[in-house]
Amino acid sequence: MAPVFVGYVHEDQQVQLNHEHSDYQWMTFDEAKQSAALPGIDDVLDFVEKHFARKTPSKWLRINTHQ
């Protein structure tokens, strides 16, 4: 089991890495599937694309951080 978090950012968003990471790369869903190193990641990416990228998620799944 692995937790999955989905966040929305502007495409020009500045990325700030912490001590656990040394690099990042923006990818399309297809590129991410090609790079996936763990079994089952394709299914997770398909789900995220279907329910979060192609349509607005349910209000029950949203966390409002701008209070």
Chunked into runs of 10 residues, the chain (67 residues) has average pLDDT values of: 84 91 93 91 94 86 70
pLDDT at site 30: 95
How far apart are alpha carbons 24 and 50 in whole angstroms? 23
Number of folded domains that form the chain: 1
Q: Quick check: is 48 in a domain?
A: yes
Q: Quick check: is 33 in a domain?
A: yes
Q: Quick check: is 41 in a domain?
A: yes
Q: Quick check: is 40 in a domain?
A: yes
Q: Quick check: is 16 in a domain?
A: no
Q: Is the pTM of this model over 0.75?
A: no
Q: Quick check: is 45 in a domain?
A: yes
How far apart are alpha carbons 56 and 52 in whole angstroms? 6
